[in-house]
Structure formats: structure tokens, C-alpha cells
Homo-oligomer: A and B are copies of this chain.
Amino acid sequence: MDIVRRNTDYAARLMVHLAKHYGNGPISTRTAAAEEQVPYQLACKLMQKLNNAKLVTSCMGPKGGFVLGAEPSKISLLEVVEVIQGPISMNRCVLNEDACSRKTICTVREKLIDLQKIITKGLAAITLDELTRRGRSNRNTGKRKRIKQ
């Protein structure tokens, strides 16, 4: 099972789509879903969730659609993940204090808590803003492979 689930991936695509068109008025779910290859009915449900969480704002009626709830640079991938699939959980004992009776004698738990923090911070650092920038977004990671032959 993937950490980022399919629906979350769909939602991320839709959010990036909105980010790309930020400032140009509402984008209908139908067109966003079509362009981002997300099943339309599913897209509707996902947009509802995002709307409830105020990550987007709905505009009903013809010529309606959704607009980002904030600037692309203010919305992180972590927020999308948490809205769609809930918080990241390294193990059941990490979020739920009394999920495991062995908590007090367990040596693994603390390690997993540390790791979870790292993951969460990593996702929080990815903004929609940078996800709209194609090709040049990883210029400062020292990674540059992809030199065309």
C-alpha cells in the first residue's frame, strides 16, 4: 500500500491544476478532472472535502467551479494529504496514545515518532507553488541529471 493513496494523488493533481490557473477565476471540476485524468465523480467528492477544509472555495452555478482558498505558496502537500486521507501515521501507537499496551516498555515507538516528524515536515515543505513550476523546480537540489543526449 502506498503512503500517498490514489485519491490523495488525484486531489493533489486537481490542486496543482487550480494553482496553475490561480487568479483566473473559478475552474470547473469537470475541466480540471478531464485535464488531470481524474474520474469526474470522484473529483467532485474530493473537491467537497477540500472545500470543507477551506483549501478551496466553491462557486456554484454556471461558469462556477473552485478557486484555491489561499495563494499557492501558502498551501502545502501535507494539507492536501491530511484532508483527503487523514494524518500521516507511522504506527497506530504514534497518534493514538492508548492503541498499544506495550507503549511504556516499547523501544520502537520513539524511533517511529522521530521518523514520522521527518516525513510530516518533508510534506509540509512542499507547496503547490513549487509544484506548478516544471523542469526548474529541482535546480537547487544539486541533482541535475537529465542532460539530453
Q: Could you tell me which A residues sit within 8 Å of B by CB distance? A: 1-6, 9, 12-13, 16, 37, 77, 88-92, 94, 101-102, 105, 107-108, 110-112, 114-115, 118-119, 122-123, 126, 130-134, 137-138, 141, 144
Contact = CB atoms under 8 A, between A and B. Distances in A.
Contacts of A137: 107, 110
B108 A2 contact: no
Nearest to A90: B3
Give the copy number: 2
B119 A132 contact: no
Chain A interface mostly: helix
Contacts of A110: 137-138
Given A91-B3, A107-B134, A108-B16, A119 B115 contact: yes
The 5 A-B residue pairs with the shortest CB-CB distance, nearest first, are A4-B91, A107-B131, A2-B89, A115-B122, A2-B91
